Amino acid sequence: MRVACIGECMIELAPRAGDEGGGAFTLSFGGDTLNTAIYMARLGQQVDYLTALGDDGFSDRMLAAWSAEGIGTGHVARLKGRLPGLYLIETDGAGERRFHYWRQQAPARELFALPGTAELVAELARFDLIYLSGITLSLYGEAGREVLLDALVNARRHGARVAFDTNYRTRGWSSAAEARQAMAELLKLTDIALTGLDDEQALYGLTLAREAVHRLQASGIDEIVVKLGRRGAIVAGHDFMTEVAAETVGTPVDTTAAGDSFNAAYLVRRAGGATPEEAAAAGNRLAAEVIRHPGAIIPKGAMPALT
């Protein structure tokens, strides 16, 4: 199976371990769909990352790091004289994070408005699974989203499936109404929907997982995952709804990329023939390890066995 993850990678500044609040930061790279791509690659999945970068040294280092992780970079556009976006993470005593962004001029925002966009759209039809998020949608604006939706229609016509994580961040949108509308259009083309109860409450005022499941089923989606944080996740189809308990964890160090890593393990295990319940258990296991470490990407040696 060939997987395409679409989105943005940014320069990440995270508090240095042991110096939280002291002003020392570690520089790395991250972004929600990029995090998922890295964890998918580490789990043995063939995956390409589709985005746009600058021609600067940071962009060079990103590409080198992705290649070292086994991620395909043949569909990364490079824009002359541009720099990638940047975000800074703050974490509280419980490991919960807050993000600060500098990304308005990031090249990734122009991915579906470049001279090579038509070629990219055609190439998407060659993938078996296309993964993207609400953050991905927030990058492009209305015109870019229309091109993306047309690309997904074409890809699905050629047999591709679409996995979508709502991953709602208020600063990426002019309003919650804009986000709801854009996501509603994308959900019409979604085969696997992944959401979080916090997203459902922020966007739709829903407080119960079953309400989120019913909302997504009304969009015609047969495979649904509602992530519940420390409680685990709900998986649902047209004839079942099951809660899968989370792994036991002490005090989290940093919850960054918990949902991204869950998605990676879930999608890889499903592609390998696991049931939704088995895949969600694997997602919970990987997420539990990720939140024991600072930053989005844990050391390779800390990757847990998922089978």
Q: In this structure, what token pair is assigned to residue 271?
A: 């592609």
DSSP code of residue 2: -
Paired strand residues for 207: none
Find the catalytic residue in 32, 48, 199, 260: 260
**Residues in contact with 1: Cβ distance below 8 Å, sequence separation at least 6, in sequence order:** 45, 46, 128, 129, 271
Q: What are 24-48's pLDDT values in tens digits?
A: 888 888 899 999 999 999 999 999 9
Compute the distance between CA of residue 287 and CA of residue 258 in angstroms, rounded to an integer: 5
Segment 44-64 mean pLDDT: 97
**Domains of the chain with CATH codes:** 3-299 (3.40.1190.20)
pLDDT of residue 95: 62
Task: State yes or no: is 56 an active-site residue.
Answer: no
- Model confidence at 17, pLDDT cuts 50, 70, 90, reads low
Which one is predicted more confidently, 88 or 167?
167
- Model confidence at 184, pLDDT cuts 50, 70, 90, reads very high
Residue 112 has pLDDT above 70, yes or no: yes
Contacts for 298-305: CB closer than 8 Å, 24+ residues apart: 300/42, 303/42
Q: What are 203-249's pLDDT values in tens digits?
A: 999 999 999 999 999 999 999 999 999 899 999 998 999 999 998 88
Least confident of 33-42, 178-187, 245-254: 245-254
Using alpha carbons, select from 268, 231, 269 the residue that is nearest to residue 248: 231
pLDDT of residue 19: 58
Least confident of 27-41, 88-102, 114-128, 202-216: 88-102
- Model confidence at 250, pLDDT cuts 50, 70, 90, reads confident
Paired strand residues for 293: none
- Model confidence at 137, pLDDT cuts 50, 70, 90, reads very high
pLDDT of residue 21: 59
**What percent of the chain has a predicted confidence (pLDDT) above 90?**
81
